[in-house]
Amino acid sequence: MEKISQFYDININQYGAVLSAADERDKEAIKTEMDTVLAQQFGSHWRQKIADCFKFDNYLFYLLNKRQKKNAEFTDQEKEDIRLIELGAALEDLYVCTTPSKENKRIIKSALALYEFLDLVHRGT
């Protein structure tokens, strides 16, 4: 858990309960902890923030590509969205015991899989 939190630069003190629930593969505990932690971080509309963030693949790739650029400047919204992408990927990596990847496509795929699994994002297949 610590290795994955470091990989994604996720504050384990802040998100530890959610990460721990994913590490224990406890879907209901993940939902419960997310309800508490994400409401504190992103407000009461955190579910909608996740749904909006994951509407368009191009936006997700744009954010992660921009994150890799030196001296890139981000709006507060972009920072929050990047955090939601990275958190989703970290939770997925913990839940299914996969090694984190620096590849943007894999990060997005992992985060999307986790949020779909938790019924927070609905995408047509």
pLDDT in tens, 12-37: 999 999 999 999 999 999 999 999 99
Tokens of 58: 């191009």
Cβ distance 114 to 31 under 8 Å? no
pLDDT recorded at residue 93: 97
pTM for this structure? Answer: 0.93
| Domain residue ranges of the chain, discontinuous segments joined by + | 2-117
By CB atoms closer than 10 A (0-12, 13-18, 19+), residue 72 is exposed
Sign of the CA dihedral running 36, 38, 39, 40: positive
Q: What is the pLDDT of residue 81?
A: 96
Q: Summarize pLDDT for 52-85 with one digit per residue, the tens.
A: 999 999 999 999 999 988 888 999 999 999 999 9
